[in-house]
């Protein structure tokens, strides 16, 4: 008996991902349904990305690529406008997109597929009668003439037949009110949304008369009528950033934290070989917008093209740049408690999460997803239902990714160390989880207002009588709870309990312990501190030192001994911490001091290779000077997060080898650590996508092997060898392309099918299988003289 499994499209329907035949051009999420537009198709999928309905948008209207996709939930409809028939709009049923409610030939979206469009719903009041569609479209005069159409750059359009002028009409009380460009520049729409009573638009303006591209924000007040709303136009120029000019806006995310109107944009300098090419910058619009100002006085745009007067542009700069990366392509945001969480999509297929606290301090980035290959993330939408998933478009693939992976962290400490505001330790369930899943229980998370690197910190102080030493322990925990949890600390040494009684508790989750100075030997005292919050216990080991005995030349080693012992390092000397410093001291500040050891400072000249796949690389060669004393290699990212260390294998003064571990895609720097902990030199290594093995050519060989087989794939420069049954061969690369390489097949002994794998560091990547045929059997040969040559004919068995 045979079973045939027939998929609607015959493609992978794996959980939470769906692969289309064509690239995704746009998508929207509403009512637990995902609407995906590809080149000439529209798809309706449930919230697990199973296909429910499909519609070919080009069947009745040739070359109709959907440019606008706006779910109108209250009306149970989906508004789509495309490029067909000089512009074509359809209203579809939201529950079944194969059913058309209304259609009209109209250029609400751009007619040319390469031009950007923008559309979203705007509410100017409360009833259904006051919903309009804000539409932005690039209108090319030549095309308009060909089509015999009128075109508007930015208009408000009706959504109901009953509104003045009928559905889709841009008509106001005195003709069409539209926002036009004053000059001849071309516009690229990036984003737009309504927040309370304001409607924002973000776009790039390219104009030959301007020195560079202008990133523009335009906004309007939601007034009673379409006309009044459009006439309230105001605008600003956005400029990014201090460190380097990035003139083009790529993507944006509006979010309102508790009291600020913060907006974040991804800006690019247009060179994604530069690791800092794109920046995620936060702008604060609160003050600027509250300032009022005259309407319709924009330097570049005007209502109905009136007001051609020259106006001095007003420029704003970002409040803070939270992230830099070679190639960010998209951003989305959500608020979690008092945190602002940004999701960043990259051109090399990574989904990165970054949280920003009230003081606009940033946590370490968390990579939520990374594609094996270089698939560009073109758009992301947070699941509007529970905000626990995000939908991501990657080339021809749609993916649903969790916004946090709290379950991966198995202890209070690892849950805290994840620095993910979505995750906290749920005391009653003893698990790391989302806040709302931990009801009626204590939930511990990272504190906001100050991003901390460690859950606990401690400081030591000497009493004025010099007879007592006091240790103060602070916990950087944020807790949400019912009732007040018990908090205590116990200080234990090898000789037993250090303090008389246990530590005292203060409301701020800190405790202290005092003991006689006699108990502090010159060599230091190892103390295990056990901290209990509710029924959660965490312990940490510290070495307490006599701060005033830490004297000597101000070296990195002395400084770091001082800081890690909870003493105060100030003015190049170590003292007791008589008052808590404002910011806790870290070992990082000690790096500026000399090592103090009789070591010649190592220099790094090069690392080879300096581009590797994210599986890492064994035996990387580092060349430089004075490398013989190097103990290990430190690997750091740009935000000083997740530093890693790798031991040094073979070393000489001029070169050494080390293994660089697997990581996320992106740029890291390596430096050489010498005895005493100081790290010298710096070289960059870029982690890229994995190699892929597409096909073998030819895909067969003889039992005795020895045939040259070509491998076609991508990123083959990162391959260490080709593996058959544990037998490794060298992959010879084609000098001109990273997509082809060849190797000599090994012998198998008999006719068989063997799996072929690419070896990349400690992992392998599968290739298509290779068929082994029996060795050819040669039966005879003949030699025939032909002119000056001899022709040899060899016969073999079929």
Ligand X SMILES: *[C@@H]1O[C@H](CO)[C@@H](O)[C@H](O)[C@H]1NC(C)=O
Residue of 666, 669, 628, 668 whose CA lies nearest to 650: 628
Place of tokens 């004919």: 793
| CA torsion angle 564 566 572 576 (round to 10) | -160
Cβ neighbours of 190 (radius 10 Å): 22
Tokens of 600: 């010649």
- Pick the binder of ligand X from 215, 556, 761, 765 (CB under 6 A): 761
- Pick the binder of ligand X from 435, 659, 707, 773 (CB under 6 A): 659
User: Taking the complex as a whole, how short is the minimal distance between the CB of residue 634 and ligand X, in angstroms?
Assistant: 15
Residue 575 sits in the site that holds ligand X (CB under 6 A): no
Residue 764 sits in the site that holds ligand X (CB under 6 A): no
Contact predicate 405/368, CB 8 Å: yes
- Quick one: which segment of 47-55, 280-288, 306-314, 659-667 binds ligand X (CB under 6 A)? 659-667
Residue 558 sits in the site that holds ligand X (CB under 6 A): no
- Pick the binder of ligand X from 93, 160, 625, 645 (CB under 6 A): 160
Cβ neighbours of 794 (radius 10 Å): 10
Cβ neighbours of 647 (radius 10 Å): 9
Question: Looking at beta carbons only, is 649 or 778 nearer to ligand X?
Answer: 649
Cβ neighbours of 439 (radius 10 Å): 11
Classify 523 in phi/psi space as left (phi over 0), alpha (psi -120 to 50) or beta: alpha
User: Taking the complex as a whole, how short is the minimal distance between the CB of residue 670 and ligand X, in angstroms?
Assistant: 14
- Quick one: which segment of 154-162, 689-697, 720-728, 782-790 binds ligand X (CB under 6 A)? 154-162
Question: Looking at beta carbons only, is 430 or 548 nearer to ligand X?
Answer: 548
- Pick the binder of ligand X from 762, 771, 776, 795 (CB under 6 A): 762
Tokens of 400: 């649903």
Please give the Cα distance from 510 to 533 (Å, whole number): 11
Please give the Cα distance from 207 to 481 (Å, whole number): 56
Site mask for ligand X (CB under 6 A), range 19-58, x = bound: ----------------------------------------
Number of residues that make up the chain: 798
- Pick the binder of ligand X from 295, 662, 727, 732 (CB under 6 A): 662
Residue 548 sits in the site that holds ligand X (CB under 6 A): yes
H/E element holding 322?
strand 320-325
User: Taking the complex as a whole, how short is the minimal distance between the CB of residue 719 and ligand X, in angstroms?
Assistant: 14
Per the DSSP assignment, residues forming a β-bridge with 301 are 181
Residue 167 sits in the site that holds ligand X (CB under 6 A): yes
- Pick the binder of ligand X from 13, 19, 48, 72 (CB under 6 A): 72
- Pick the binder of ligand X from 543, 650, 752, 771 (CB under 6 A): 650
User: Taking the complex as a whole, how short is the minimal distance between the CB of residue 78 and ligand X, in angstroms?
Assistant: 8
Question: Looking at beta carbons only, is 75 or 307 nearer to ligand X?
Answer: 75
Question: Looking at beta carbons only, is 106 or 250 nearer to ligand X?
Answer: 106
Site size with ligand X, rule: CB under 6 A: 29
Contact predicate 728/721, CB 8 Å: yes
Please give the Cα distance from 389 to 332 (Å, whole number): 12
Residue 781 sits in the site that holds ligand X (CB under 6 A): no
> Which residues in 253-291 are b (16+ Cβ under 10 Å) and which e?
bbbebeebbbbbbbbbbeebeebbbbbbbbbbbeebbee
User: Taking the complex as a whole, how short is the minimal distance between the CB of residue 601 and ligand X, in angstroms?
Assistant: 13
CA distances from 606 to 191, 240, 272, 648 (A): 43, 32, 22, 16
CA distances from 596 to 454, 573, 591, 600, 615 (A): 28, 15, 12, 11, 37
Please give the Cα distance from 354 to 502 (Å, whole number): 39
User: Taking the complex as a whole, how short is the minimal distance between the CB of residue 615 and ligand X, in angstroms?
Assistant: 7
CA distances from 405 to 364, 418, 425, 436, 439 (A): 15, 10, 13, 15, 19
Place of tokens 């203060």: 506
Contact predicate 86/114, CB 8 Å: no
Question: Looking at beta carbons only, is 91 or 722 nearer to ligand X?
Answer: 91
- Quick one: which segment of 144-152, 226-234, 657-665, 689-697 binds ligand X (CB under 6 A)? 657-665
User: Taking the complex as a whole, how short is the minimal distance between the CB of residue 33 and ligand X, in angstroms?
Assistant: 16
Residue 546 sits in the site that holds ligand X (CB under 6 A): yes
- Quick one: which segment of 231-239, 430-438, 542-550, 630-638 binds ligand X (CB under 6 A)? 542-550
- Quick one: which segment of 47-55, 141-149, 334-342, 543-551 binds ligand X (CB under 6 A)? 543-551
Residue 594 sits in the site that holds ligand X (CB under 6 A): no
Question: Looking at beta carbons only, is 159 or 330 nearer to ligand X?
Answer: 159
- How many CA atoms lie within 13 Å of 790's alpha carbon, on the beta-carbon side? 5
- How many CA atoms lie within 13 Å of 337's alpha carbon, on the beta-carbon side? 22
* 458-459-463 Cα angle (round to 5): 140
Site mask for ligand X (CB under 6 A), range 600-629, x = bound: ----------------xxxx----------
Residue 549 sits in the site that holds ligand X (CB under 6 A): yes
Q: For strand 154-158 and strand 632-637, is the pairing parallel, antiparallel, or unpaired? A: unpaired
Question: Looking at beta carbons only, is 425 or 718 nearer to ligand X?
Answer: 718
Tokens of 236: 């600003």
Please give the Cα distance from 59 to 82 (Å, whole number): 13
H/E element holding 287?
helix 286-290
User: Taking the complex as a whole, how short is the minimal distance between the CB of residue 599 and ligand X, in angstroms?
Assistant: 9
Helix (H/G/I), strand (E/B), else coil: 86: helix
Residue 523 sits in the site that holds ligand X (CB under 6 A): no
User: Taking the complex as a whole, how short is the minimal distance between the CB of residue 74 and ligand X, in angstroms?
Assistant: 8
DSSP labels for 716-732?
GGG--EEEETTEEEPPE
Residue 649 sits in the site that holds ligand X (CB under 6 A): yes
Question: Looking at beta carbons only, is 416 or 458 nearer to ligand X?
Answer: 458
Residue 595 sits in the site that holds ligand X (CB under 6 A): no
Question: Looking at beta carbons only, is 101 or 112 nearer to ligand X?
Answer: 101
Eight-state DSSP code of residue 173: B
Question: Looking at beta carbons only, is 209 or 598 nearer to ligand X?
Answer: 598
Residue 661 sits in the site that holds ligand X (CB under 6 A): yes
Site for ligand X in 78-97 (CB under 6 A): 79, 91
- Quick one: which segment of 42-50, 146-154, 159-167, 697-705 binds ligand X (CB under 6 A)? 159-167
Residue 71 sits in the site that holds ligand X (CB under 6 A): no
Residue 77 sits in the site that holds ligand X (CB under 6 A): yes
User: Taking the complex as a whole, how short is the minimal distance between the CB of residue 437 and ligand X, in angstroms?
Assistant: 35
- Pick the binder of ligand X from 60, 102, 675, 795 (CB under 6 A): 102
Place of tokens 């924000």: 217
Residue 598 sits in the site that holds ligand X (CB under 6 A): yes
Residues that bind ligand X (CB under 6 A): 72, 75, 77, 79, 91, 101-102, 159-161, 167, 517, 520, 546, 548-549, 598, 616-619, 649-650, 657, 659, 661-662, 761-762
């Amino acid at each position: 008996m045979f079973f045939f499994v027939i998929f609607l499209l015959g493609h992978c329907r794996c959980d939470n991902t769906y692969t289309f035949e064509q690239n995704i051009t746009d998508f929207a999420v509403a009512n637990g349904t995902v609407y995906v537009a590809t080149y000439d198709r529209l798809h309706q999928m449930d919230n697990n990305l199973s296909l429910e309905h499909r519609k070919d948008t080009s069947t009745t209207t040739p070359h109709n690529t959907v440019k606008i996709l706006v779910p109108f939930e209250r009306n149970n409809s989906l508004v789509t406008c495309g490029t067909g028939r000089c512009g074509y709009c359809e209203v579809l049923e939201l529950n079944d997109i194969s059913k058309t409610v209304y259609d009209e030939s109209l250029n609400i979206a751009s007619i040319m597929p390469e031009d950007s469009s923008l559309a979203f719903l705007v509410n100017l009041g409360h009833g259904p009668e006051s919903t309009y569609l804000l539409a932005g479209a690039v209108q090319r005069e030549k095309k308009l003439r060909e089509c015999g159409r009128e075109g508007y750059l930015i208009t408000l359009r009706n959504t109901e037949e009953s509104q003045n002028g009928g559905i889709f009409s841009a008509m106001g009380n005195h003709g069409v009110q539209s926002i036009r460009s004053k000059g001849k520049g071309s516009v690229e729409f990036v984003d737009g949304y309504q927040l309370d009573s304001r409607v924002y638009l973000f776009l790039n303006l390219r104009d030959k008369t301007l020195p560079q591209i202008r990133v523009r924000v335009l906004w309007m007040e939601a007034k009673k009528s379409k006309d009044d709303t459009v006439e309230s136009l105001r605008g600003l120029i956005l400029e990014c950033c201090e460190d380097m000019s990035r003139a083009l806006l790529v993507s944006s995310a509006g979010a309102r934290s508790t009291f600020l109107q913060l907006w974040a944009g991804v800006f690019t300098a247009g060179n994604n070989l530069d690791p800092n090419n794109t920046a995620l910058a936060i702008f604060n619009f609160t003050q600027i917008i509250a300032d009022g100002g005259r309407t319709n006085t924009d330097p570049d745009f005007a209502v109905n093209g009136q007001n051609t007067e020259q106006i001095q542009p007003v420029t704003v700069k970002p409040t803070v740049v939270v992230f830099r990366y070679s190639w960010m392509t998209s951003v989305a945001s959500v608020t979690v408690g008092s945190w602002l969480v940004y999701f960043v999509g990259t051109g090399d297929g990574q989904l990165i999460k970054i949280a920003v606290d009230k003081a606009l301090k940033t946590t370490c980035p968390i990579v939520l997803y990374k594609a094996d290959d270089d698939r560009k993330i073109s758009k992301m939408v947070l699941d509007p239902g529970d905000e626990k998933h995000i939908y991501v478009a990657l080339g021809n693939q749609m993916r649903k990714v969790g916004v946090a992976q709290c379950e991966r962290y198995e202890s209070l400490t690892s849950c805290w160390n994840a620095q993910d505001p979505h995750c906290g330790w749920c005391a009653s369930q003893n698990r790391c989880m989302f806040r709302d899943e931990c009801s009626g229980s204590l939930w511990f998370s990272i504190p906001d207002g100050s991003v901390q690197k460690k859950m606990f910190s401690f400081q030591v102080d000497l009493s004025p009588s010099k007879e007592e030493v006091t240790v103060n322990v602070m916990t950087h925990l944020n807790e949400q709870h019912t009732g007040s949890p018990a908090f205590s600390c116990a200080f234990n040494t090898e000789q037993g309990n250090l303090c008389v009684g246990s530590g005292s508790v203060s409301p701020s989750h800190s405790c202290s312990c005092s003991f006689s100075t006699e108990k502090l030997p010159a060599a230091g005292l190892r103390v295990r501190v056990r901290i209990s919050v509710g029924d959660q216990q965490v312990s940490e080991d510290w070495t307490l030192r006599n701060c005033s005995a830490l004297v000597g030349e101000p070296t990195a080693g002395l400084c770091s001994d001082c800081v890690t012992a909870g003493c105060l390092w100030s003015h190049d000397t170590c003292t007791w911490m008589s008052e808590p410093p404002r910011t806790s001291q870290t070992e990082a500040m000690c790096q500026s001091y000399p090592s103090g050891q009789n070591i010649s400072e190592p220099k790094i000249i090069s690392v080879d290779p300096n581009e590797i796949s994210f599986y890492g690389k064994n035996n990387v060669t580092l060349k430089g000077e004075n490398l013989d004393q190097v103990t290990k290699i430190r690997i750091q990212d740009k935000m000083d997060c997740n530093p890693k260390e790798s031991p040094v294998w073979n070393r000489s003064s001029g070169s050494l080898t080390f293994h660089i571990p697997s990581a996320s895609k992106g740029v890291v720097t390596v430096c050489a650590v010498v005895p005493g902990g100081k790290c010298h030199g710096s070289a960059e290594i870029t982690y890229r996508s994995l190699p892929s093995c597409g096909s073998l050519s030819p895909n067969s060989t003889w039992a005795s092997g020895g045939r040259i087989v070509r491998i076609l794939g991508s990123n083959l420069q990162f391959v260490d060898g080709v593996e058959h049954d544990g037998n490794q061969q060298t992959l010879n690369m084609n000098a001109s392309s990273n997509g082809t390489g060849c190797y000599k097949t090994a012998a198998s002994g008999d006719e068989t099918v063997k799996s072929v794998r690419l070896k990349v560091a400690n992992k392998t990547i599968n290739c298509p299988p290779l068929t082994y045929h029996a060795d050819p059997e040669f039966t005879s040969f003949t030699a025939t003289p032909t002119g000056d040559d001899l022709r040899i004919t060899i016969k073999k068995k079929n």
